[in-house]
Amino acid sequence: MASTNKAPLQTRNLPWVEKYRPQKLDDLISHKDILSTIQRFISEDKLPHLLFYGPPGTGKTTTILACARQLYKDREFNSMVLELNASDDRGIDVVRGPVLSFASTRTIFKKGFKLVILDEADAMTQDAQNALRRVIEKYTENTRFCLICNYLSKIIPALQSRCTRFRFGPLSPDQMIPRLEHVVQQESLDITPDGMKAIVTLASGDMRRSLNILQSTSMAYEKVTEDTVYTCTGHPLRSDIANILDWSLNKDFTTLFIHLVKPPVLFLKTLKGLALHDILTEVHLLIHRVDFPPAIRIGLLIKLADIEHRLASGTDEKIQLSSMVAAFQAVRDLVVSEAS
Ligand SMILES: Nc1ncnc2c1ncn2[C@@H]1O[C@H](COP(=O)(O)OP(=O)(O)OP(=O)(O)O)[C@@H](O)[C@H]1O
Ligand SMILES: [Mg+2]
């Protein structure tokens, strides 16, 4: 049930997130302050219990695996490291069983502590977390724990206070782009600067997502461009959204309705499989870039948020689309009446 990361990676058929998972702490591209603190803990042999938290794909699992690789030689790995993740059972039995027996047994061949990695610890039940409090305390001399989670609030305060916390924030585009370029070079891909920008925008700080988008787009299309990235991920193209906004603000209601509700969006929706929710998200982003008078922008944003709320509760997409059309029309009327 416990899975340990031991074998040298067979890189040929691996998804790129694994193929390009940094093996050493120095290879990680972000959170340098956290990494240097951990390096210092390791070199001074004072590693505390750790708690890593933050959004997905920011390097939490990678960091602790790299630490473990630095702490233990390959052949010791299995006996010194216990890694549990979401695929393992997370109830109290696991804490009382495998975790306890691993933590409580000393190794005669090697001095120093063992490492228990509890990945996705927010999936552990309250009972299991409570049981862990005692285990952590009792075997501190022998074992260090590293808890990893996305939501800190799901870890009970008593466990939080036993660990040194590190927050792994989303990665910035400046950090992601050089890493993606490295992969592009290794895989000899054809990518445009716009394509790269689109990947980074869609990934919003999640390195795993950016690698997955890069891999799927480059497999589906010969060239990675803005359009192929958006098409591959099922997002509306920028040009479609710009068109929608353009029609919405410049055409009268009847033409607009025919343009949006009848052929083109139906065309967008059926041919490109777009959901109104995605269209709404992109339109919302674009609205921030159009030079509206503040009061009008505010009114529009509130209306779009209302539509989004209604959509989320499962209302009819076509009616909500009409409502979006009407919201824009109201803006257009306001702008026209203010100008005259
Ligand atoms: N800081 C980073 N430097 C380089 N690559 C990274 C970094 N963070 C993530 N990656 C890439 O993204 C993949 C996923 O990272 P990782 O498994 O460490 O994420 P995580 O923070 O544990 O996410 P989750 O919360 O979803 O488990 C890695 O295999 C690696 O390829
Ligand atoms: Mg992880």
Tell me the C-alpha distance between 54 and 168, whole Å. Answer: 5
Kindly give the pairing relationship between strand 164-167 and strand 190-191: unpaired
Ligand nearest to the CA of 17: 1
User: Which residue, among 263, 313, 57, 84, has the nearest Cα to 169 in the 3D structure?
Assistant: 57
- CATH number for the region 173-232 comes to 1.10.8.60
Closest to 138 in 3D by CA, of 162, 161, 164, 118: 162
Q: Which of 24, 31, 58, 181 to mutate to test the pocket of ligand 1 (most atoms within 8 A of CB)?
A: 58
Q: What residue ranges do the domains of the chain occupy?
A: 31-167, 173-232, 238-339
* Alpha carbons 151 and 284: distance in angstroms, whole number: 27
Expressed in angstroms and rounded, the spacing between residue 178 Cα and the centre of ligand 1 is 15
Q: Residues 6 or more apart from 266 whose CB is under 8 A from it?
A: none
Ligand 1 — pocket residues by CB below 6 A?
Answer: 17-18, 20-22, 28-30, 56-62, 150, 168, 179, 207-208, 211
For position 303, what pLDDT does the model report? Answer: 93
Residue 188 phi/psi, 5-degree rounding, is 50, 60
Q: Which of 184, 180, 178, 221 is nearest to 199 (CA)?
A: 180
CA quadruple 322, 325, 329, 331: dihedral, nearest 10: 120
- Smallest CA separation from ligand 1 atom 7, residue: 59
Residue nearest atom 9 in ligand 1 by C-alpha distance: 59
Domains 31-167 and 238-339 equal at CATH topology level: no
Q: Which residues of the chain have pLDDT under 50?
A: 1-9, 271
Q: Residue 48: how many CA atoms within 13 Å on its side-chain side?
A: 14
> Beta partners for 143?
114
Q: Whose CA is nearest to atom 12 of ligand 1?
A: 208
Q: What is the DSSP string of 207-266?
A: HHHHHHHHHHHHHH-SEE-HHHHHHHTTPPPHHHHHHHHHHHHHS-HHHHHHHHTTHHHH
119 is written with which tokens? 């990945």
| 20 CA from centroid of ligand 1 (Å) | 10
Phi/psi of residue 53, nearest 5 degrees: -140, 160
Write the pLDDT tens digit of every residue in 58-69: 999 999 999 999
User: What is the model's pLDDT at position 184?
Assistant: 95
Nearest CA to ligand 1 atom 25: 56
Three-state secondary-structure class, residue 111: coil
Q: Ligand 1 center to residue 206 CA distance, Å?
A: 8
**Which CATH superfamily, name and number, covers 31-167?**
P-loop containing nucleotide triphosphate hydrolases (3.40.50.300)
Q: Could you say which ligand is closest to the alpha carbon of residue 84?
A: 2
Q: What is the pLDDT of residue 262?
A: 64
CATH of region 238-339: 1.20.272.10
pLDDT value for 90:
78
- The span from the first CA to the last CA of the chain, in angstroms, equals 73
